Amino acid sequence: MTPNIFRRLSGSPDATRLFKKKTAVLLLEYQNEHFTGLLPIEAAYAAVAPAVALMNWADKHKIMVCHIRHLAKSRASAVFAPDSAGAEFYPELAPRKTHTVYTKYASSAFAGSLLHTDLEAAGIDTLIVAGLDSPTTVSATAHDAKLLGYKTIVAANLCAARDTVSWDKNRITKGDQMNDIALSAIADKYAQVELSTAITALELA
């Protein structure tokens, strides 16, 4: 038997139209740590070109773009240390002049940042979310976005996950499997999940 989709049961319809002045793109953790650092995600490289295309689309239509940077609280941290090479944005996905950068210190883009305050002030009610990595940052952000009342669409092909050691430390779960499970869980409970080409093909008003 095919399982029910929780979002359908709870009355959350998929978006068929986007309003430019009410939509924002959130780009999460496209930082060197996930490309050349200690938390590499093999599939991250495949997300670069479509992420650039999404930024180009947003800029063309004057849609708000927010880059979310993760930082460790300590400069002694092995990963995401402030001012470290790993904490820098991956060059091709660096913020542009019209974009806004927010810094987070936990998984969710909303944790400890002014993101929600600024989105509310701008009249944003719909989020297009993409980033690294899916089981943590993307999932936590989608969860919090739903709690805060946003309509959220996750760009599946712009997300990826790293290989992860199992809880019993006896197995390694590959990143593509982690990503698929995370996106499936997000689609079930928190957000609409689509390919970026399907998102940019939605009617704009």
Instruction: Map out the domains of the chain as residue ranges.
Output: 20-204
Structurally, at CATH architecture level, domain 20-204 sits in 3-Layer(aba) Sandwich (3.40)
Distance CA 90, CA 107 (A): 19
- Determine what percent of the chain is predicted with pLDDT higher than 70: 100
- pLDDT at residue number 4: 80
H/E run at residue 48: helix 44-60
DSSP 104-126: ESSSSTTTTSSHHHHHHHTT--E
State the average pLDDT for the chain: 95
- pLDDT at residue number 12: 81
- pLDDT at residue number 128: 98
Q: What is the CA 150 to chain-centroid distance, rounded? A: 14
202 burial level (CB within 10 Å; 0-12, 13-18, 19+): middle
Give the pair of three-digit tokens for residue 40.
């590499």
Angle at 201 between CA 199 and CA 203, to 5 degrees: 100
What tens digit of pLDDT does each residue of 11-60 get? 788 989 999 999 999 999 999 999 999 999 999 999 999 999 999 999 99
The model carries a pTM of 0.95
- pLDDT at residue number 113: 86
What tens digit of pLDDT does each residue of 175-196 get? 999 999 999 999 999 999 999 9
